[in-house]
């Protein structure tokens, strides 16, 4: 069989990278649960009509069809491109069994038909949190979401050495109210152009607003001026008001965004009024998150408030959510060696086998070590001890156990008598450690 060619956009980590990913997920899940979020998992496929019903995302969907389907069968299912749409379906389907506000987290793969490039993949792992209410959801939950995100990124930095991150926040009510105050009847079209601010710059956005939407130059200029406002305190409110636009929805959005920035009280939460979010189901606060020092990757975590994504026609389930792009964060860091694991296997000890008739004794030693939570391998074949030590070195295993009562740290060369029923390695050696590279 010929060597298989890798599929572009479908990243696969080597064992050391997978250890990093698992440690990250442990912290993410633990932090979510500390904030009271319960875990769920949804199916990988959804009806195409559900996946394509909100936003301009049809081109992103991978269609699913049986290999032996009849020629006239049409594909009706697609792989989910995010976790929000399937979660909305989940809430509608199971509402009678949920207590609201319902707080969920979800860690699953998603699929998008995008052009692969650094930070963008066709298959990747996301970790989402959402708070969903029944008929209404208090605005203070919009403030709660970035506090969870700050905790996650803070722990990932402090415990694993990942880069810090800054959350950029805006409010769609603020933007829409501002545009309506200028007499613009279709704010969504302006939002779509303003969302390109970072990619093409303010002058190009101004040209789009005048050339494509027919806005007067003075109106387009004020839209661009709004997008240029940012700050990590409430001073942005005065800057917006200085633009001389009035609208009730604008005032509501200003109040909500000011509260979020005030409560967060962190230099890592910044009011950024050019943040719009492309999907059209967001109705209030929106979030975009950038790794400090790696902003060119674009947003690695995002979300916002949605008031009408889930509804059965009688009851509406508004919510606010946030999605961590786990693969998007980790794949470039791992590929560049900026974060790695101290070894690629969980094993802390290799039990040597000097002859095959001693293998059962070696297995018994390994069992005593494992009974106390120490990860152990038994040598795959009887061999000279020097060769077994070199085997352990290649696998990154720090200790080799000889016979019944002797263990050697192969890094320092120190060998001591030990009892397999009581000996413990140093805590730093029990499991592979995640370390920041250069």
Instruction: Please check the confidence at residue 290 and state whether its pLDDT lies above 60.
Output: yes
Neighbouring CB atoms inside 10 A of 54's CB total 16
* 59 — pLDDT class (breaks 50, 70, 90): low
Q: Report d(CA 314, CA 263) in Å as an integer.
A: 34
In tens, the pLDDT along 355-391 reads 999 999 999 999 999 999 999 999 999 999 999 999 9
Element (H, E) at 250: helix 248-264
Please state, in angstroms and as integers, the Cα–Cα distance from residue 49 to each residue in 43, 63, 92, 97, following that order: 16, 12, 16, 25
* 117 — pLDDT class (breaks 50, 70, 90): confident
252 HSE (CA, 13 A, CB side): 11
Q: Do residues 19 and 434 make contact, with C-beta atoms less than 8 angstroms apart?
A: yes
% the chain with pLDDT above 90: 80
DSSP for residue 280:
T
| Cα–Cα nearest to 142, from 298, 264, 274 | 264
Residue length of the chain: 438
For the chain, the average pLDDT equals 92
In tens, the pLDDT along 231-271 reads 999 999 999 999 999 999 999 999 999 999 999 989 999 99
For position 60, what pLDDT does the model report?
81
Is 82 annotated as a binding-site member?
A: yes
Q: What is the DSSP string of 204-238?
A: HHHHHHHHTT---HHHHHHHHHHHT-EESSTHHHH
pTM to 2 decimal places: 0.91
Q: What does the pLDDT average to over 335-362? A: 95
Q: Report d(CA 302, CA 87) in Å as an integer.
A: 16
For position 43, what pLDDT does the model report?
97
* 280 — pLDDT class (breaks 50, 70, 90): low
* 296 — pLDDT class (breaks 50, 70, 90): confident
Q: Which two tokens stand for residue 253?
A: 């959005």
Is 203 annotated as a binding-site member?
A: no
* 211 — pLDDT class (breaks 50, 70, 90): very high
Residues 6+ apart with CB under 8 A from 240: 174, 178, 226, 229, 250, 254, 273
In tens, the pLDDT along 171-188 reads 999 999 999 999 998 888
Instruction: Please check the confidence at residue 204 and state whether its pLDDT lies above 70.
Output: yes
Burial classification of residue 277, based on how many CB atoms lie within 10 Å of its CB (0-12 exposed, 13-18 middle, 19 or more buried): buried
For position 68, what pLDDT does the model report?
78
Q: Do residues 206 and 219 make contact, with C-beta atoms less than 8 angstroms apart?
A: no
Phi then psi for residue 163, to 5 deg, are -60, 150
Is 130 annotated as a binding-site member?
A: yes
Instruction: Please check the confidence at residue 431 and state whether its pLDDT lies above 60.
Output: yes
Is 98 annotated as a binding-site member?
A: no
| Cα–Cα nearest to 37, from 88, 133, 104 | 104
Q: What does the pLDDT average to over 35-47? A: 96
Is 158 annotated as a binding-site member?
A: no
% the chain with pLDDT above 70: 96
Only one residue has tokens 């609201």, namely 100
For position 279, what pLDDT does the model report?
58
For position 295, what pLDDT does the model report?
86
In 156-273, the DSSP E strands lie at 165-171, 230-231, 269-272
List the Cα angle 241/150/123 in 5-degree steps: 105
Helix axes 172-181, 217-227, angle to 10 degrees: 160
Domains delineated in the chain: 15-340 (3.30.930.10), 345-436 (3.40.50.800)
Q: Report d(CA 344, CA 397) in Å as an integer.
A: 9
Element (H, E) at 155: helix 140-160
Is 241 annotated as a binding-site member?
A: no
Only one residue has tokens 């079209």, namely 189
Q: What does the pLDDT average to over 181-196? A: 90
Q: What does the pLDDT average to over 203-220? A: 94
Only one residue has tokens 């006239």, namely 72
Q: What does the pLDDT average to over 400-408? A: 95
For position 244, what pLDDT does the model report?
95
Q: Which two tokens stand for residue 414?
A: 């120190």
Q: Cis bond leading into 308, ω under 30°?
A: no
Q: Do residues 184 and 215 make contact, with C-beta atoms less than 8 angstroms apart?
A: yes
Element (H, E) at 255: helix 248-264
Is 279 annotated as a binding-site member?
A: no
Computed from CA positions of residues 291, 296, 301, 306, in that sequence, does the dihedral angle turn out positive or negative?
positive
Of 109-113, 274-278, 337-341, 362-366, the one with minimum mean pLDDT is: 274-278
Q: What does the pLDDT average to over 285-303? A: 92
Phi then psi for residue 95, to 5 deg, are -55, -35
Is 83 annotated as a binding-site member?
A: yes
In tens, the pLDDT along 300-326 reads 999 999 987 788 889 999 999 999 999
Instruction: Check residues 296 and 319 and name the one with the higher pLDDT.
Output: 319
For position 54, what pLDDT does the model report?
54
For position 66, what pLDDT does the model report?
83
Q: Which two tokens stand for residue 162?
A: 């990942």
For position 124, what pLDDT does the model report?
96
Instruction: Please check the confidence at residue 73 and state whether its pLDDT lies above 80.
Output: no
* 1 — pLDDT class (breaks 50, 70, 90): low
| Cα–Cα nearest to 156, from 267, 260, 20 | 20
Is 103 annotated as a binding-site member?
A: no
SS3 151: helix
| Cα–Cα nearest to 273, from 174, 202, 207 | 174
For position 58, what pLDDT does the model report?
52
């Amino acid at each position: 069989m010929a060597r298989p060619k890798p599929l572009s956009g479908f990243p696969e980590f080597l064992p050391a990278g997978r250890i990093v990913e698992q440690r990250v997920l442990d912290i993410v899940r633990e932090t979510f649960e500390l904030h009271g979020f319960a875990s769920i998992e949804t199916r990988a496929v959804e009806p195409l009509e559900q996946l394509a019903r909100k936003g301009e995302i049809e081109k992103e969907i991978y269609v699913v069809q049986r290999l032996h389907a009849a020629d006239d069968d049409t594909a009706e299912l697609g792989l989910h491109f995010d976790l929000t749409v399937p979660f909305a379906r989940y809430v509608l389907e199971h509402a009678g069994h949920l207590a609201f506000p319902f707080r969920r987290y979800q860690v699953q793969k998603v699929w998008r038909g995008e052009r692969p490039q650094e930070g963008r993949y066709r298959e990747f792992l996301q970790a989402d949190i959402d708070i969903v209410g029944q008929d209404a959801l208090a605005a203070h939950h919009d403030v709660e979401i970035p506090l969870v995100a700050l905790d996650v990124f803070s722990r990932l930095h402090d415990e694993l050495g990942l880069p810090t991150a800054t959350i950029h926040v805006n409010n769609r009510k603020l933007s829409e109210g501002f545009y309506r105050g200028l007499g613009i009847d279709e704010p969504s079209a302006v939002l779509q152009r303003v969302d390109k601010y970072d990619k093409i710059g303010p002058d190009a956005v101004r040209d789009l607003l005048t050339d494509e939407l027919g806005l007067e130059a003075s109106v387009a200029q004020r839209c661009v001026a709004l997008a240029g406002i940012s700050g990590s305190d409430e001073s942005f409110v005065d800057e917006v008001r200085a633009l001389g636009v009035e609208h009730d929805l604008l005032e509501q959005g200003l109040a909500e965004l000011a509260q979020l920035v005030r409560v967060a009280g962190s230099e890592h939460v910044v009011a950024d009024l050019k943040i719009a979010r492309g999907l059209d189901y967001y109705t209030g606060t929106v979030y975009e998150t950038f790794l400090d020092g790696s902003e060119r990757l674009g947003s690695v975590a995002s979300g916002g408030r949605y008031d009408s994504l889930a509804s059965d026609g009688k009851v509406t389930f508004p919510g606010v959510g946030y999605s961590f792009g786990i693969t998007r964060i980790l794949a470039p860091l791992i590929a560049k060696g900026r974060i790695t694991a101290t070894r690629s296997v969980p094993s802390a000890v290799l039990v040597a086998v000097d002859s095959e008739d001693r293998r059962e004794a070696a297995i018994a030693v390994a069992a005593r070590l494992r009974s106390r939570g120490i990860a152990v391998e038994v040598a795959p074949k009887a061999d000279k001890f020097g060769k077994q030590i070199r085997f352990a070195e290649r696998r990154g295993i720090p200790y080799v156990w000889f016979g019944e009562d002797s263990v050697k740290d192969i890094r320092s060369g120190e060998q001591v008598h030990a009892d397999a029923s009581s000996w413990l390695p140093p805590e730093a050696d029990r499991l592979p450690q995640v370390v920041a590279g250069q």
